[in-house]
Structure 1
Amino acid sequence: MKPMRIFLIGGTGFIGRAIAERLLADGYTLRLCVRDPARQPALAGVEYVKGDFNIQITDEANESAWRDRLAGCDAVINAVGIIRESKDATFERLHYEGPLALFRAARSLKIRRLIQISALGADEHAETKYHLSKRKADEALRRLIPSAVILRPSLVIGPGGKSTKLLALLATLPLLPLPGGGRFLLQPLRIEDLAAGVSSLIARWPSRGVTVDVAGPEVVTMAQILQSFRRNAGFAAAYLIGIPMSWMRAVARWGTGIVNEETLQMLERGNTGDARPFERLTGLTMRSALALPAGTLYEAALSVIRPMLRYSIAFVWIWTAIVTAFLYEPAISMSWLKQSGVPDGLLVLFLYGSCLFDLVLGLMLFSRYRRISYGFQLAAVAFYTLVIAFRIPELLLHPLGPISKNIPLLVLTAVGWLFDGDDSSDRRRPER
């Protein structure tokens, strides 16, 4: 029997990617709608088509274009979503106007199976622009395709999720600064359960359209989530520091990043729902999301330690170059160079040449060539240490340890070379 072909938009995002992987594992074929098909990897069972909710064309032309993309598909999944607006990506455009053209095209092709990934809170009590835009699309979909299924996930936990990365980073801190003491209620779910549920729904489509919450089995506070992450990773319990909500609201008025009035309003409302209808529809039992995959907290800690290590080592090299070239007595520096075996005629060249060398090594740590910089640093520090140890041995006994301090510097530089030397993060990675 020929496998069903499923059209998926938003398949390069956190939720969409997990859904795509699960559908492929379950034997479905996919037509993934992406902005640039040429940049996508060739995968068995996957066909790419070019498309974007952000394209500004007439309604008629837009709907016609979506009909062409949907032709031959048995089901449609919309997993597009943003949590913050930007100049080029608005809630109205990406959550409502773009999906509306998709829904109309699906209706004209008589596609009954359409899954809309909405959001918990996009209901009659919605107040934020994010939730209102999701609700607006959900209501339009119910009118256009009564058989559609609308899923409203709570906080989704899993590898690659921005919320997961933020929570993991917070969980690494021994002191947890949380708005309102972290008392707001959440009901996190695992990304694997959401993806498995979507795949199950395609196979066992309900007799009529439904809107259901998708949530995990536990209603917990943010503080409990973070403490659970720490406990399951083998960390000791952290101390909580409650940030007064009045302070948070003051910051949110000026916020354009993760702390703004919208996100604060959603946090205060809470994010809980009834998981049982989704379990009945899919035949799944939702699992706890209070433990992160092994190594997630350590990777989160490294994401902070790596730049701190990089910038501190860069400071050492840049500051050394500045002090030696402009602030320290040149005669003293040149006397050490002479003791190290540098000929008199080359003292000035060696002095200021080494300053330039140190400056370049420090600046390279801010570029994609930092692995090369770390390598040269290891060689330079080892060379300086050995030469001075043999030619100026009295510095080994100096009370301030100008040479012995090179040992931890060598170790830290080696750590940087091992864990911060990958320059791939400085390049724009293709969508998956």
Structure 2
Amino acid sequence: MRILLVGAGGFIGRHLQAALHAAGHQVVATARQPDPGTSGEWLALDLAELARDPHAFAWPAGVELLINAAGLLSTDRARLDEVQHLGACALFELAAAQGARVLQISALGAEDDPDTAFLASKAAAERHLLGLGIAAVVLRPSLVLGPGAASSRWLLRLSPWPWTPLLDNRARLQPLHIDDLCAAVLALLERWPVQPCSLALVGPEALTMGQIVDRLRAAQGWGPGHYWTLPRPLALAGAWLGERCGWRALNRQTLRLARSDNLAAAEPLAEACGYRCLPLAARLHDWPQATDSAALIVQPLLLALLVVVWLGTALACLGPGFDWSLRILAEAGIAGWPARLAVIAGALLDGALGIGLLCTRWRRRALQAQVALMLGYTLLISILLPHYWFDPLQGIGKNLVLLAVSLWLLWLQPLPARTRR
């Protein structure tokens, strides 16, 4: 079957694309700006642009099925409405005009008069699709876990800690692995429902957030953890701050979702296509890995320590350590205004590196500059002041550790994308 997969650059879309290819389907994947180096057939599609201009996308020839896996983790109501509602509806209209079937990947909770912008935009798109009178299925998954998911990444960050704060540990949800979502989609393609319908896609277990983290801990060889709920004033303050800082994991929307049950029956999907999700623990074999979870904790911790080192060095050189720095330069034969200028310039450069590490868009360049600067410092000291290698505190030797940490953090930084999907 020739399938148009919208949102193929996202977590669900990437896994769906691989599963559909493996099942022998021909997939036309879409992205806002496809990377020319990516394998497979790709087309440019921006749902926000489609919402403004329904003629902005040319329907590919021969497509029999549209799968819309596009979504935004955002609190921007206007943006969500543009992409998840109006853009999706324009896409459904194109599919209807071409006589294609539609499978909409929605979200569990979109059917219950939702009070969050994310679910409300999904619900509006669902109503429009099911009102078109075409062959359509709305699939509403619960929390989907797996490698590459933003929610999974945050849960993995929590999993190594034996004592963990949670937004809520009473609300229950029925998580599933991404492999179950892909398998359910393939089952629906084999047994398409006769009438347009919406189907919940849920795991067989109703779990609290603490129990979900415990499943992830067990898969990594750790015992059950201990969990406590953030006091409401602290959670509200964090949500307020998260909205202003653009945090996807903590804002008023995620706080509201975290405190509500998200449950549904698995029988309608089983009756429609014969598929039932496996318990979460049955899917956790090669993922998650303890080393990956530890890296998610160590990486921000090391970044924070490097920021402290560089900003602290800058403040020390410009403050109480200024004369000390001049004495060190005097040992290398540099004195007077050139020495003072060198100390001030070096301090400002150290401060700029610390600030650069704080900003995501500058971090990769800052780490590269940091590695070059430490190599330069080490080389100059080795030539001009070699006796500092014999310092009992090993100030220069410890630079080698910082150099290794900087290289590791640099390798973990994503390469600059030529395009955004």
TM bracket, shorter-chain basis:
0.7 to 0.9
Structure 1: stretches of 5+ with no match in the other structure:
397-402
Equivalent in 52, 56, 59 of residue 69 of structure 1? 59
1:351 deviates by 6.5
Distance 1:151 1:189 in 2: 13
Distance 1:391 1:157 in 2: 51
Q: What are the within-5 Å matches in structure 2 for residues 185-200 of structure 1?
A: 185-200=172-187
1:56 deviates by 4.7
Equivalent in 334, 342, 348 of residue 353 of structure 1? 342
Distance 1:251 1:405 in 2: 39
Q: What are the within-5 Å matches in structure 2 for residues 359-374 of structure 1?
A: 359-360=348-349, 363-364=352-353, 366=356, 367=362, 368-369=364-365, 370-374=367-371
Structure with larger Rg: 1
**Corresponding residue for 1:83?**
73
**Corresponding residue for 1:298?**
291
1:315 deviates by 3.5
- Compared with structure 1, are the counterparts of its residues 296 and 350 closer, same or farther at alpha carbon in structure 2 (3 Å cutoff)? farther
Report the TM-score when normalising by structure 1.
0.80
**Corresponding residue for 1:48?**
43
> In structure 2, what residue type is equivalent to 1:8?
L
- Compared with structure 1, are the counterparts of its residues 17 and 122 closer, same or farther at alpha carbon in structure 2 (3 Å cutoff)? same
- Compared with structure 1, are the counterparts of its residues 143 and 374 closer, same or farther at alpha carbon in structure 2 (3 Å cutoff)? same
| Conservation of the 8 A alpha-carbon contact between 1:317 and 1:359 | no
| Conservation of the 8 A alpha-carbon contact between 2:75 and 2:117 | no
* Deviations, residues 172-197 of structure 1 (Å, cap 9, x unaligned): 333211124x1210111111211222
* Deviations, residues 293-349 of structure 1 (Å, cap 9, x unaligned): 54555334434433432343344344335434543463x6555555x5x34x65764
1:169 deviates by 1.3
| Conservation of the 8 A alpha-carbon contact between 1:8 and 1:32 | yes
Distance 1:21 1:378 in 2: 43
* Deviations, residues 12-47 of structure 1 (Å, cap 9, x unaligned): 11112211121112121122233224x343424x24
Distance 2:350 2:398 in 1: 18
- Compared with structure 1, are the counterparts of its residues 361 and 329 closer, same or farther at alpha carbon in structure 2 (3 Å cutoff)? closer
Structure 2: stretches of 5+ with no match in the other structure:
357-361
Matched, 1:313 2:306: yes
**Corresponding residue for 2:212?**
225
Equivalent in 261, 266, 286 of residue 257 of structure 2? 266
Moved over 6 A (4+): 385-389
SS at match of 1:420: helix
Equivalent in 128, 133, 139 of residue 140 of structure 1? 128
Distance 1:424 1:391 in 2: 33
1:79 deviates by 1.4
| Conservation of the 8 A alpha-carbon contact between 2:142 and 2:262 | yes
Distance 1:314 1:124 in 2: 46
**Corresponding residue for 2:403?**
413
* Deviations, residues 187-242 of structure 1 (Å, cap 9, x unaligned): 11111211222133223323333321111222111011112212221235433222
Q: Identity, % of aligned pairs?
A: 28
* Deviations, residues 89-147 of structure 1 (Å, cap 9, x unaligned): 12x32222222222222222222x21011111122453433333322322222221353
Equivalent in 327, 338, 341 of residue 320 of structure 2? 327
| Conservation of the 8 A alpha-carbon contact between 1:49 and 1:69 | no
- Compared with structure 1, are the counterparts of its residues 65 and 179 closer, same or farther at alpha carbon in structure 2 (3 Å cutoff)? closer
**Corresponding residue for 2:359?**
none
SS at match of 1:213: strand
Distance 2:302 2:131 in 1: 56
**Corresponding residue for 1:16?**
13
Distance 1:371 1:249 in 2: 38
Report the TM-score when normalising by structure 2.
0.82
| Conservation of the 8 A alpha-carbon contact between 1:31 and 1:48 | yes
SS at match of 1:421: helix
> In structure 1, what residue type is equivalent to 2:345?
L
Distance 2:305 2:11 in 1: 33
Distance 2:95 2:105 in 1: 16
**Corresponding residue for 1:96?**
85
Q: In the comparison of the two structures, how many residue pairs are matched?
A: 407
Distance 2:215 2:153 in 1: 15
Higher mean Cα deviation, 160-169 or 313-322? 313-322
